[in-house]
Amino acid sequence: MTRRTPPRPLNVEELFPEIAPLGREAVRLHPRAGEPTCRDSSVGGPLRWPAREPWPECPEHPGSPMIPVVQIYRSDLPGLVPFPDGCDLLQLPWCPRRHDGQWVVPLVRWRSAAAVGQVRQPPPVPAEAGYGKVPRPCVVYPELVTEYPSWDLPQELWDALEARFEQVEQETGWDYQYHLSTAPGIKLGGYPGWCQDPRWPACPDCGALMDHLLTVESTEESDSRQAWTPVEDRDGRIEGPGLRLGDLGGVYLFECRACPGRPFTHRFDS
Ligand SMILES: [Zn+2]
Ligand SMILES: [Zn+2]
Q: Which domains does the chain have, with CATH numbers?
A: 12-269 (2.30.320.10)
Q: Which ligand sits nearest to residue 257's alpha carbon?
A: 2
DSSP secondary structure string, 111-136? E-GGG--SBPPPPPPPTTPPTT-SPP
Task: Give the Å distance between the CA of 91 and the centre of ligand 1.
Answer: 17
Query: What is the per-residue pLDDT for 30?
Result: 98
| 3-state SS, residue 209 | strand
User: What pLDDT digit, counting tens, does each position of 105-130 carry?
Assistant: 999 999 999 999 999 999 999 999 99
Ligand 1 centroid–CA 96 distance in Å is 6
For residue range 247-269, list pLDDT tens digits in order. Answer: 889 999 999 999 999 999 999 99
Structure confidence at residue 49 (pLDDT): 98
Each residue of 12-41: pLDDT tens digit? 999 999 999 999 999 999 999 999 999 999
Determine the distance separating the centroid of ligand 2 and the alpha carbon of 41, expressed in angstroms. 28
Neighbours of ion ligand 2 (CB under 5 A): 203, 205-206, 256, 258-259
- CA distance to 80, 205, 267, per residue, from 261 (Å): 20, 11, 20
CA of 78 from ligand 1 middle (Å) equals: 33
Distance 185 CA to ligand 2 centre (A): 27
Give the tens place of pLDDT for each residue, 56-70: 999 999 999 999 999
Q: Would the pLDDT of 71 be above 90?
A: yes
What mean pLDDT, rounded, does the chain reach? 95
Q: Under 8 Å CB-to-CB from 254, ≥6 apart: which residues?
A: 192, 200, 201, 210, 211, 212, 213, 264, 265, 266, 267
Looking at the CA of 259, which ligand is closest?
Answer: 2
**Contact by Cβ (8 Å): 30, 3:** yes
| 3-state secondary structure (DSSP) of residue 159 | helix
CA-derived radius of gyration, the chain? 19
CB within 5 A of ion ligand 1: which residues?
58, 60-61, 95, 97, 105
DSSP 202: B
Q: Is the pLDDT of residue 240 over 80?
A: yes
Angstrom distance (rounded) from CA 174 to CA 245: 27
Calpha distance 32→142 (Å, rounded):
11
Q: How far apart are CA 138 and CA 3, in angstroms?
A: 14
31 CA distance to ligand 1 middle (Å): 24
Single-letter amino acid code for the residue at 118: Q
Distance 59 CA to ligand 1 centre (A): 7
In which band, very low, low, confident or very high, does the pLDDT at 152 lie, cut at 50, 70 and 90? very high
